[in-house]
Chain A
Amino acid sequence: EDQVTQSPEALRLQEGESSSLNCSYTVSGLRGLFWYRQDPGKGPEFLFTLYSAGEEKEKERLKATLTKKESFLHITAPKPEDSATYLCAVQADFNKFYFGSGTKLNVKP
């Protein structure tokens, strides 16, 4: 069964304390893996697309990596404004998208 699992469900960090979020997946025919950021009451904001194992993408304090079974979103020296829910999605065969349940990140000053 195709599915996407994110961990942890919630993560509390002190400002400047680096960490990683995990997204593991089991899908048939991975076409792409996507990371989004979602603030409360708003639509998900696109962050990265990864297409193949070994690929990495960076944006400010965020870095996304991809292996054959999982993806990591590394957050370096986070700031309070990085607090949000981070969603992972996988695109499989026939253009089907599967979303994880998200990791709620809280960065304390």
Chain B
Amino acid sequence: KAGVTQTPRYLIKTRGQQVTLSCSPISGHRSVSWYQQTPGQGLQFLFEYFSETQRNKGNFPGRFSGRQFSNSRSEMNVSTLELGDSALYLCASSLGSDTQYFGPGTRLTVL
């Protein structure tokens, strides 16, 4: 069974730009969660989608948004990028309310 895939794996953007990250969950998984990981803050929860609906949301500004499609694939968008948005963005999928399996992450660098 294929694992969680994320694209792109690496991204370099400049301040003020916007970016879209993509996540394909494990086949059959309906929940997709997004996390931001930085050396200083660790893993911080962004939001979770289940069956195309946002089920949970972390404490991030409105510049961070996401959506989920009918095939459970999810996208995350960050608008008006700031230097502090540089991080490893991780996507995790689960069947519903149980173990989360993580993808390899997208390394975003904001210059």
Contact = CB atoms under 8 A, between A and B. Distances in A.
Interface in B82-103: 88, 90, 97-103
Interface residues of A, number: 23
Contacts of A99: 35, 42-43, 45
B99 A97 contact: no
Interface of B: 4, 6, 31, 33, 35, 42-43, 45, 48, 55-56, 88, 90, 97-105, 107
A64 interface: no
Contacts, number: 52
A109 B35 CA distance: 34
Interface in A29-59: 31-32, 34, 36, 41-46, 49
A6 to B, nearest CB: 10
A34 B100 contact: yes
Interface of A: 31-32, 34, 36, 41-46, 49, 87, 89, 91, 94-102
Given A43-B104, A43-B105, A95 B97 contact: yes
B97 A96 contact: no
Given A43-B102, A43-B103, A44-B90, A97 B33 contact: yes
Given A97-B33, A102-B42, A41 B88 contact: yes
Contacts of A44: 43, 90, 102
B101 A46 contact: yes
A34 B92 CA distance: 13
